[in-house]
Amino acid sequence: MESVGSIIMYCVIVAAIIVFSILTVTTRRILRAATYLLFVLFATAGIYFKLDYEFLGAVQIAVYAGGIVVLFVFSILLTSNPGDSSARLASKRRVMGIIAALLSFVVMGFALCRHEFWTALSRPFTTDLTMQEIGQVLLGTEKWQYLLPFEAVSVLLLACIIGGVVVARKR
């Protein structure tokens, strides 16, 4: 059974993720949005550390909180003046957007509940994972290995960098 302090800490981290996620998408100042995103990514690393996944927590801080947010801030500073705030979006399709978001949430929840890893979680792990096994899973090409998504994200980041340079040159 977990201690009360551990449960309170979990609730604080989850509340921080929720609050900063909402602030990220609702603020009109783009640098503040990037800062709030940084806080969300740090809090996510806190969840990983709380679950005793030190490797994932370190990767979360190094890759996402470090690299991606720096890339976002770099592209923001290249494409706009840092003090500018964007105008409030006036959309007549806000209700349709909310309906689409809720529908997406339901579909993702259904897919998550139907996935087979829930049965794998009920079985205890028999051995400790080594760094070699983690690397093989992350960069392998077999089933349930993640080389293709890893490469897709790298191509996406390269496209973002090229787009930022193109937009900056047009100014």
pLDDT digits (tens, 9 = 90+) for 95-136: 888 888 899 989 988 887 877 666 655 555 566 767 777 777
- 74 with 8, same domain? yes
If asked whether residues 69 and 101 sit together in one domain, one would say no
Task: Tell which residue, 137, 156, 131, 149, has the closest CA to residue 54.
Answer: 131
Whether 66 and 102 map to the same domain: the answer is no
Task: Read off the amino acid at residue 64.
Answer: Y
Answer whether 49's CB lies under 8 Å from 57's CB: yes
On whether the CB atoms of residues 134 and 55 are closer than 8 A, the answer is yes
- Cα atoms found within 13 Å of the Cα of residue 140, Cβ hemisphere only: 10
| pLDDT of res. 89 | 58
- Count up the domains in the chain and report the number: 3
Residues 50 and 83 in one domain: yes
pLDDT at 20: 95
Predicted pLDDT at 168:
72
Do 150 and 107 lie in a common domain? Answer: no
Q: Is the same domain home to 78 and 144?
A: no
Whether 34 and 76 map to the same domain: the answer is yes
pLDDT tens for each residue of the chain, 171 residues long = 578 888 899 999 999 999 999 998 888 877 788 889 889 989 999 998 888 888 888 888 888 777 777 777 776 777 666 555 556 656 777 788 888 889 998 998 888 787 766 665 555 556 676 777 777 777 777 776 777 777 777 788 788 778 777 777 776
Q: Which domain holds residue 34?
A: 1-90
Angle at 103 between CA 101 and CA 106, to 5 degrees: 110
Q: Are 164 and 79 in contact (CB under 8 A)?
A: yes
What residue spans of 51-130 are helical by DSSP H? 54-59, 69-79, 94-114, 117-122
Q: What six digits make up the tokens of 116?
A: 């087979």
pLDDT for residue 106: 93
107, 134: one domain: no
Are 59 and 4 part of one and the same domain? yes
Question: Are residues 109 and 72 part of one domain?
Answer: no
Query: Following CA atoms 32, 19, 110, 65 in sequence, which dihedral angle do they give, to the nearest 10 degrees?
Result: 50
